[in-house]
Amino acid sequence: MYEDKTLTCKECGQPFVFTAGEQEFYAEKGFENEPQRCKACRDARKNATRAAREMFDATCANCGKECKVPFKPRDERPVYCSECFASMKAEG
């Protein structure tokens, strides 16, 4: 039903492929316009509107590894690195 289309990015001018799968997704969501930008330019545009997140240094309470967290650690609460946090979350 759908075939891949080559479009030109209005931001960088480079050609990019609007795949059949993407076209089907757009149709399912009711989007009427084709994308105007390539993936790299869409991502750059999206990230430009986000404020940079301040990160804080911390030491993981589980493994002792140095890590960065998006909040200011407090002495009374343990802080975990992303690996330890993910494994604890998976365990339930």
Q: What is the pLDDT of residues 42-83, one digit of tens each?
A: 999 988 877 778 899 999 999 999 999 999 999 889 999 999
pLDDT bucket at 2, cuts 50 / 70 / 90: very high
- 17 and 38 inside one domain: yes
Q: How many domains does the chain have?
A: 2
- The CA distance from 75 to 38, in Å, is 46
pLDDT bucket at 1, cuts 50 / 70 / 90: confident
Domain span at residue 83?
A: 56-91
Confidence at residue 42, expressed as pLDDT on a 0 to 100 scale? 93
- 81 and 64 inside one domain: yes
- 9 and 41 inside one domain: yes
Nearest one of 74, 67, 10, 73 to 42, comparing CA atoms? 10
Confidence at residue 48, expressed as pLDDT on a 0 to 100 scale? 83
